[in-house]
Amino acid sequence: MGEFKVHRVRFFDYMPSAIRTMAFNSQTERLAVARADGAVEIFNFNDNFFQEKVIPGQDGRAIEALCWVGHRLFSAGLNGEITEYDLENLRPQYTVDAYGGPIWTISSNSQGTQLAVGCEDGTVKIFAILEERIQFQRNLNRHKGRIISLCWHPSSAQIAAGMTDMITIYDAETGQATRRLLVDRAMGASKNKEVVVWSVGYLSDHTIISGDSAGKVQIWNGLTGTLVRTYLVTKWDVLVLSVSKDESSVIAGTSEGTVIQFQFISSTLDQHDKEWVRTRTFRNHSHDVSALAHTDTAVVSGGMDTQLVVRPLLDKVEKNTQESALRKIAFPHRSLVGCAKKAGLLLFQFPDRLELWKLGESEGHGEQHTHTHTLGEDHICCSALSACGGWLAYSTVSSVRLYRIHVMISVSSSLQVPKLPKELRSVHQLCFSSDSSKLFASSCQSSVIVVAVSQQECRYLHTLKHKTVSTMLYRLHLLCASDDGKWLATANTDCEIHIYNLHKMKLHCMVPVYNSCPTTIAIHPVTNNLISVHADQQIFEFSLVQKEYTQWSRRLQTQGLLSLWLERDTPITHITFNPKNPDHIILHDTYMFCIIDQSLPFPELNAVLWNQMTLKNLPVSQRIGQSHAFKICKIFQHLMCVSLLEDLSLVVVERPLLDIMSQLPAPVRQKKFAT
């Protein structure tokens, strides 16, 4: 296959934000994760944990709690506002100020009719959930001290509220406090430090479970107000609790990074009276676990160390299958790096800024050329760099900006294009045509806005739309234009891929819908075949001219992909092609990049997928017999982008996890020599 010149780039200082809280919707199997920068991510647990939506954050929006009500997602934060999100257009739909100071917690009742929020001023405020908005109903009786945590009883008649030094049970009808459970402070020196009840759970048998800053998980009888059991699980804080749907298991996350499971079982075999027993300890985090979700089969945890960990419970899933594997999601499932292939420029997207870098010509350093700061407090949701390196566009929730870039030897300048067409307002994805004359922007309701960009002006051309049978219009999350400028492919989160003919400006065809979401798509520059890779790691090739899957794709499907390929747990996020050899498709995930050679046979089902080492040790004459279509290279790890420049050199952007770890604050406890 030959040698490649590789630009190994490690200067992308991407730093994911800490996970603050999460909420799992068991009906739709969607997990909502809120990060410290205010971003909300939606993961689809039915589709290989694919991160299908990202709602960008905002300066000053610190989300403290998330809550699903049916398909609607609410959040509340320290800015004192309750926000409902528009999950189609990925932006806050509206915000309501609770007028109670910072909000620490939000919880809905089981019918989904009322929302309770706990405020800094000690009030629990009840909001009625209406169809399009929420409306303040009333306050429960006010207490001194902030409300840190809330939980409704499943019957919606009571609310348990965790405060400092106590738990209060309210009657939701009258608003009166019916019981106060006093929580012991920590022993020893911190005796006069007040204890904060970080999390409460309220079970249908009126058992209350609390986790507090003294490191205790306590089980209370809510009817009598008595303490049943105390488990001292850590020397630091128990930050979060999560109860399983059947109320037989509770997990608690601690500052040490451990997740501890409690189960409602009989402690000895013969007894029928069950009690809460501490059972398992999971240690998958180095820092605080501040967000937990207990799904039917797994413990999902996240925290300061920014990784989302899905730990299947081995008694609930079949052992030694893909289902039972531990999953760590460290990087976003989309590409944050743009690459101008002709100019050798790299665009790095941060939440609050963009960085443009020029790659070095020879052995030496890349040069940083441009910093683009966003104006306003909204974070960037997408960005694009044209292939010639002359144009740069980015978008926030509310606006789009386009820049003209001049790159000199050592100086560069960027010029904002002043007047943009008014159609370009809120977009989800941006893409330049290969000759940089057009900008495509996916807008609301599955439409694509085509804008002509030139030195003189920026002109709205057309809106591409397809007729749809369903009333729901899904957001386009992938855009891809062909090199010859004739085709545009779009993919939405409902797994549909549409092809538009740009010459006729209308829909050309639709690719048969596959049941897993496409993670990336690309159009081959020579054959005009569409390559799509999906969240379940399947690869398809679709001929745009013949409107059917190609022979190669059919052969691949009949033979099947190797299980080692299918069991990878990070999605393919980028595809490029080799302009010199049309048979080569280059794609990458976090841990490897792979060159697929379409002229070579597929590996047999029992063959070794990663056979580079074997091939290396074979004499040249025997290599051909042994080699197969998948050339996998794992030299580079934690890849953010792999792209092929016009001069056939590879650009590899790495972001080692160790570097991310080293930027985290010191963890509370480190184990050393069995001390």
Partner 1 sequence: MAALYEGYTLCGLVPDQNLSSSGIQGIEEERDRDHVVVTDSTRSVTLYKVSDQKPLGSWTVKQGQKLTCPAVFNSQTNEYVAVTDNKVIRIWKEDDILLDKAFKATVSSDVWKVHCTHGGEPVVLFQRGAVRLLDSLLAAPQQPIEEVLAQEETIRSMSLEKFYDDLILELYFSHFLYLQRLNPNSVQRYRLEREEPGLSPLSFSAIYKDKHICLLYLYPNGHMYQSVLSVRGLGTEEGVQALPLPRSLLLGLPVGDGQLEAASAMALDEAHVAVVGVPHPSAGGGKDFLCIWNTNFQTLQAGKEMAGKIYGQLWSYSNKVFIPHGKTLSIIPFECPKSSLASALGKLKHTKTEESKTPNSVPSWNNILHGEKAQPSKTAETRRTVSWRSVFANCEFIIVHTLIQKEVEGFLTRSEFQDLQPSVGQLALTLVSRSLADPAFYSSSTLAQLVHTRCLCHSVCPDLVLLALEKKDYFLCQLCLQFFPDIPEAVTCACLKAFISMPDVDAEKVSLEPNSVTFMENLITRDRAEAGLQNGFSPTSSVVNDRQTRAEDKKKASAPSQLICPVGLHKAVLINEILQTPYSDTFLLPHLKDLSSQNVMLFLQYLQFLYLKYSQDAFPQMEGFRSPSLSQIMDWVCLLLDAHFTVLVMTPEAKGLLLNLHSFVKSQVRLVSELGKIEGSLQQLHKMKAKESIGQYSIEIIELF
Q: Which residues bind partner 1 (CB under 8 A)?
A: 1-11, 267-270, 360, 362-366, 595, 612, 615-616, 623, 627, 631, 633, 635, 649-650, 673-674
Name the minimum Å distance from CB 613 to partner 1: 9
Here the tokens at position 458 are: 């920026």
Nearest to 202 by CA among 140, 154, 259: 154
Nearer to partner 1 by Cβ, of 409 and 674: the residue is: 674
Here the tokens at position 466 are: 């397809």
Nearer to partner 1 by Cβ, of 200 and 652: the residue is: 652
The alpha carbon of residue 616 and the mean position of all alpha carbons in its chain are separated, in whole angstroms, by 38
For residues 42, 46, 48, 49, the Cα torsion angle rounded to the nearest 10 degrees is 20
Nearer to partner 1 by Cβ, of 357 and 440: the residue is: 357
For residues 25, 289, 49, 331, the Cα torsion angle rounded to the nearest 10 degrees is 140
Rounded to whole angstroms, the Cα distance separating 203 from 49 reads: 28
Nearer to partner 1 by Cβ, of 362 and 558: the residue is: 362
Name the minimum Å distance from CB 366 to partner 1: 5
Name the minimum Å distance from CB 234 to partner 1: 13
Nearer to partner 1 by Cβ, of 475 and 584: the residue is: 584
Nearer to partner 1 by Cβ, of 60 and 360: the residue is: 360
Residue 603: Cβ within 10 Å count: 19
Name the minimum Å distance from CB 277 to partner 1: 8
Nearer to partner 1 by Cβ, of 126 and 340: the residue is: 340
Name the minimum Å distance from CB 614 to partner 1: 9
Name the minimum Å distance from CB 216 to partner 1: 15
Name the minimum Å distance from CB 1 to partner 1: 4
Q: Order the strands of the 367-373 sheet from edge to edge.
A: 337-340, 345-349, 353-358, 367-373
Name the minimum Å distance from CB 13 to partner 1: 10
349 membership: H or E segment, kind and range: strand 345-349
Rounded to whole angstroms, the Cα distance separating 501 from 317 reads: 46
Name the minimum Å distance from CB 582 to partner 1: 17
CB contact at 8 A, 86 and 80: no
554 membership: H or E segment, kind and range: helix 551-559
576 membership: H or E segment, kind and range: strand 574-577
Name the minimum Å distance from CB 632 to partner 1: 9
Burial classification of residue 467, based on how many CB atoms lie within 10 Å of its CB (0-12 exposed, 13-18 middle, 19 or more buried)? exposed
Nearer to partner 1 by Cβ, of 70 and 360: the residue is: 360
Name the minimum Å distance from CB 138 to partner 1: 47
Rounded to whole angstroms, the Cα distance separating 620 from 165 reads: 74
Nearer to partner 1 by Cβ, of 417 and 615: the residue is: 615
Nearer to partner 1 by Cβ, of 298 and 596: the residue is: 596
Question: In the beta sheet, which residues pair with residue 69?
Answer: 72
Nearer to partner 1 by Cβ, of 346 and 522: the residue is: 346
Name the minimum Å distance from CB 341 to partner 1: 17
What is the 3-class SS of 414-481, one letter each residue?
A: EEECCCCCCCCCCCCEEEECCCCCEEEEECHHHCEEEEEECCCCEEEEEEECCCCCCCCCCCEEEEEE
DSSP letter string, 358-411: E--SSSS--EEEEEEEPSSSBPEEEEEE-TTS-EEEEEESS-EEEEEEEE-SS-
∠ CA 119-121-124 to the nearest 5 degrees?
A: 45
DSSP letter string, 519-530: EEEEE-TTT-EE
For residues 354, 50, 568, 491, the Cα torsion angle rounded to the nearest 10 degrees is -80
Name the minimum Å distance from CB 624 to partner 1: 10
Rounded to whole angstroms, the Cα distance separating 411 from 434 reads: 25
329 membership: H or E segment, kind and range: strand 327-329
Nearer to partner 1 by Cβ, of 131 and 673: the residue is: 673
Nearer to partner 1 by Cβ, of 366 and 390: the residue is: 366
Q: Which amino acid is at 659?
A: D
The alpha carbon of residue 455 and the mean position of all alpha carbons in its chain are separated, in whole angstroms, by 37
